[in-house]
Structure 1
Amino acid sequence: MIKVLIADKMSPRAAEIFQARGIEADVKTGMSPDELLACIGEYDGLAVRSSTKATDEVLAAASALKVIGRAGIGVDNIDVAAASARGIVVMNTPFGNAITTAEHSIAMLLSTARQIPQANCSTHEGKWEKSRFMGVELMGKTLGLIGCGNIGTAVAERGLALKMKVIAYDPFLSPERAGDLGLEKVELDELFQRADFVSLHTPLTDATRNIIDAGAMAKMKKGVRIINCARGGL
């Protein structure tokens, strides 16, 4: 029988789906790297979220492994090159949480625009500093998206619905697609210079790591708001 290891916390439905298809699913979450190394050799499949690290060392011990399924979008916790070299297929779920993340990004954008966390703390301290937390309107402001894939596109649609001007930097975004979405494709430096709000929607790779650094922030407008619902390493 095919065996799959579910190594991170997931809905009980995950194991049920495997079992309904005649696949044995073992749920072992919170394992240390050594514990994972000790047991991975007996599994044909590995299902993870973001906690479990499928490193080169782990993959070398995974003698029977044929596939890794990532319940989410980013695969920076998986050594994809090492997996490919061993014939292990790596799959993710690019649409699984796209809307959830896009809505969360808009929630963070609104929160920063209206200084909701600061106003909340002030109110809990017994103060009523209404004029201190006026914030800014979103209408007419420029939203700069770094990355315009599934999530970035969903954020763009919501930004446009709020009457914002949306610009995007994404090497894989064609001018035709940008036009269809109703946004403007720009280079990264131009985005830094023009955006009132910057929202990150790109995977963490060697090319994108620390894409927002001191040099990038020096090019931005004073008072720019930065929203990162992607990866901390950006």
Structure 2
Amino acid sequence: MPDHPIASAPGTALAGQLPVSPNNPCPFLRALVANGYVGGDVVPLSQLSEIVGDASGQTGLGKKKVRVATWMVAVIANGLGPARVLKSATSGAVLDQLRNGPLDKHGGGSRILDATAKVHDEEIDRLASFGKDCKNPTGGIETGLTAKEIETFMAANIKRDGDAARWYYPILMKGEWPVLLKILGKGEGEARYLSVAEVRTLFVERRLPERITARLPKPASP
């Protein structure tokens, strides 16, 4: 028997959730779609940036910065052509059509989620191997990665990809794991860490921690 839950086939829905297209390669966005916080089709950038801002737990200027950063990434997510960027800016991002877009590494990098949106549990175990024992603010010890370990992990991913890695992959990665650390991280300052257990839940079960969902508006029913 496997030690961890196995994800359903790409494009299917888990119990109590909405289906998520395999053409949405972002685990955080997949969780938002699966749990009804946003649709998989056209999502206005104002709505998307507001939800990410809420999830971050930031307030005031900090939240505004998160929203602006989210908008700037989302406006090019479906394509870099002037017409596509204008359409994204005025209508929204199409989350079900992010695959093969400018931000897609085609299963490269961590390799946790491959190009068909299949979750590879052994790659989450590999992620854990870069972590360390971290003190949970609510009590106990768990395996996690601070910003330092995340940098080491991303560098190792680039090295493993070899010639398949593109020059811009390190730039894309800056908008992935470090951002997850900001949103899902526990603790403060240099001690802030990304829980491997929560990463596993995010990828495999498409669920966000309760402390994050408590910040979000009520989702649509599956």
What's the TM-score once normalised by structure 1's chain length?
0.28
Q: Kindly indicate whether structure 1 or structure 2 has the higher relative contact order, using CA contacts under 8 Å at least 6 residues apart.
A: 2
Q: Which structure has the highest helix share of the two?
A: 2
Please tell me whether Structure 1 or Structure 2 has the larger radius of gyration of its CA atoms.
Answer: 1
Q: Which structure has the highest strand share of the two?
A: 1
What's the TM-score once normalised by structure 2's chain length?
0.29
